[in-house]
Amino acid sequence: MSLFSLKGKTAVITGGGSGIGKAIASRFAARGAIVYVLDFNNEEGERSVEEIRGNEGRAEFHRCDVSKQEEVKQVITTIAKAGPINILVNNAGVAHVGNVENTTEEDMDRLYQVNSKGVYNCLFAVIPYMKNNGGGCIINMASIASVVGLADRFAYSMSKGAALTMTYSIAKDYLDFGIRCNSISPARIHTPFVDGFIAKNYPGKESEMFEKLSQSQPIGRMGTTEEVANLALYLCSDEASFVTGTNFPIDGGYIKLNG
């Protein structure tokens, strides 16, 4: 339990009800953290917490729309009253497919509100507590779309680029307060969202499209949520105490080997 242990630490994970966020919440709880799952979806958030508790982990669910600052502040204040917040994982996000011509103003606003402003809202609420507690660790979930051009990901790339650059700013501004901040940039990770996207857009061709999307990573497959969770665990553990202000691609070689 000593290596990569989070025993005694409190972790706030947004979007912790499904996909990557759920895997991170589960892994952190298994390593001893008290996990607070924040999610917009009540059913998924409660299920995530129930599964953690079923594995003898400690977790609580708070419904939270990260795009609304007052709502975020209220939830974080409630959590902070129970004890110091040591870890924040800004994972909540939404997707959009389209280039600039078929991205509406509503699309842009929605992506900004959740993927960019949502990160800001959580940082704004949590950092004062981390300063008072003598430090902490933050992960912002970015994307390979933050650093390379992807077809038909105009609004998504914009929003995840903001998450990446906010990472650098936070790491620089709060270094002297003992706050570390890094970002993780996944390529395509196999989540329920991917399965739903394929089923909706390619009915009858699910297997064919799954294989095609898998092969878009040079390594020949999609990543797993558990692999992302393992990276997040390292970055939030004391073993990574010398690591801050860095973006970590987890992409099967996509950024460096595609092209």
Type of residue at 224:
T
* Sign of the CA dihedral running 185, 216, 44, 159: positive
- On the CB side of 134, CA atoms within 13 Å amount to 0
Cβ atoms of 176 and 242 closer than 8 Å: no
CA dihedral 24, 28, 34, 36 (to 10 degrees): 0
| Residues 6 or more apart whose Cβ sits within 8 Å of residue 175 | 244, 245
- Residues designated catalytic: 156
- Strands of 15-148 (E only): list them: 34-39, 58-63, 87-90, 136-141
Neighbours of 200 (CB within 10 A): 8
CA distance 31 to 7: 6
Which distant-in-sequence residues (6+ apart) come within 8 Å of 113 by Cβ?
67
